[in-house]
Structure 1
Amino acid sequence: MYQITCKKCRRLGYKVCDTAKCALIRKPYPPGQHGKNAGRKRPSEFGQQLAEKQKLKFIYGVREKQFRKYFDFASKKKGVTPQIMMEMLERRLDNVIFRLGWAPTRNAARQLVNHGHILVNGKKVHSPSYSVSSGEQVDIKESSKSGSLFINTRTILKKFQLPVWLEMDKEKLSAKILGLPDKDFLSGIPVQVSKVLEYYSR
């Protein structure tokens, strides 16, 4: 399991962990003996690129090898590279489960996929990195819907707002992929993706 610790949040100056009571809230300065007094120095250009890369990687809970593959694929594909890379991250099955409100965090969503609670087009998919496509159906396994993991899900979903590229029957806990995340939605994710691309293009 890929866990993000609060120490990483403090180092980046941005909350990327799943912990509700993140240490960054109480200690908004870098970790270490002199972190509080040292403050946050303005990073170099390379430092900014590295920080944005780490931030994006930690937000989606992706390991370095897989993350690099996303960059390599996006950079070779025709189109706007930052947008293509973000679309790939958003289309990960674990992220889709999180966006649907079926899990409180992406890490929890990964566990749902790993343990066989999620179906795509009626079949179990055990890979959190599975990339959903437009028109695909995503469901919670019928026998899991009444279990403790989803006992409060329908209540939570009453006030839950979906991204426009997803559609859901909140009573049946069944969803459909309508298309790709749009540019406006992707621009709301607080990462300078251009810096990430600069990092890998060095």
Structure 2
Amino acid sequence: MVRYRGPRLKIINRLGDLPGLTRKVVIKQETPEQKKSKASPYKIRLNEKQKLRYNYGITESQLLRYVKEARRRKGLTGFLLMQLLEMRLDNIIFRLGLAPTIPAARQFVSHGHVMINKKRVNIPSFQCQPNDIISFSKNPKTITLIKANLNQKENSNPNDNVSNSHLEFDSQLLTGKIVNLIQRKDLRFKINDMLVIEYYSRLV
């Protein structure tokens, strides 16, 4: 299944706010008919899975691989799945405020602007690890783009500023550091991850 490239408002109208996909927020107004209808357990699990896919911009096959990897590791499978997704390089760039959305961060990484431990990395799914140092191309256009996105982040709605205790960023040197693997308290995207695991329970 290919990555979604269609209208983003259509998706958040159906699934709710997805901060990784778009900054736009839609206030849904339910009709009396919609209020009466009750989603089946399967549809509830499906919607949670779709939220995860669209927010992090991954394909169905990618998400299935992440679920399998989370189940292979020791710990709470739902949280381990979220941890794997959150430690992707494109998401780290997004969380640092260096790109307005995860799709924008993915493009930023793919174009070769990012270095990990002084080595260029152009793979958005790269798994960042504690003590990794993130730096950037010295191209003037890259620096200008980073500073513009940082300024936009500083001027954003205060509700958008969430804890990033697993990350550090030096705004003078324009370098970031992975302090630790992300913990649940630092998860920005609120989702019932166990419903996603239940959805895939018959597939893995």
* TM class by smaller structure: 0.7 to 0.9
- What is the DSSP-based 3-state SS (H/G/I as helix, E as strand, rest coil) of the residue aligned with 2:134? strand
Alignment-derived partner of residue 65 in structure 1: 61
Structure 2 spans left out of the alignment, 5+ residues: 156-160
Offset at residue 52 of structure 1 (A): 0.4
Alignment-derived partner of residue 170 in structure 1: 171
Between the aligned partners of 2:53 and 2:65, the Cα distance in structure 1 is: 12
Match of 2:108 among 93, 112, 122: 112
Match of 1:91 among 83, 87, 91: 87
Amino acid in the other structure paired with 2:34: G
Amino acid in the other structure paired with 1:199: Y
Give the 5 Å matches for 1:12-31.
12=15, 14-16=16-18, 18-21=21-24, 24-25=26-27, 28=29
Alignment-derived partner of residue 33 in structure 1: none
Between the aligned partners of 1:185 and 1:143, the Cα distance in structure 2 is: 32
State the Cα deviation string for residues 112-162 of structure 1 (Å, max 9, x = none): 001111111111111111100111111121225665423424534667666
Q: Is 1:144–1:150's contact at 8 Å kept on the other side of the alignment?
A: no
State the Cα deviation string for residues 29-77 of structure 1 (Å, max 9, x = none): 5xxxxxx574252211101100000011111111111010000010111
Between the aligned partners of 1:15 and 1:43, the Cα distance in structure 2 is: 19
Question: Identity percentage over the alignment?
Answer: 35
Offset at residue 16 of structure 1 (A): 2.6
State the Cα deviation string for residues 89-133 of structure 1 (Å, max 9, x = none): 000000000011101111110110011111111111111111001
Offset at residue 183 of structure 1 (A): 2.4
Between the aligned partners of 2:150 and 2:172, the Cα distance in structure 1 is: 6
- What is the DSSP-based 3-state SS (H/G/I as helix, E as strand, rest coil) of the residue aligned with 1:149? helix
Between the aligned partners of 1:157 and 1:195, the Cα distance in structure 2 is: 32
- CA shift in 2, pair 1:2/1:11, >3 Å: closer
Total equivalences in the alignment = 192
Give the 5 Å matches for 1:39-50.
39=34, 41-50=37-46
TM-score by length of 2: 0.83
Higher relative contact order at CA 8 Å, sep ≥6: structure 1 or structure 2?
2
Alignment-derived partner of residue 13 in structure 2: 10
- CA shift in 2, pair 1:154/1:71, >3 Å: closer
Q: Is 2:18–2:189's contact at 8 Å kept on the other side of the alignment?
A: no
Amino acid in the other structure paired with 2:173: K
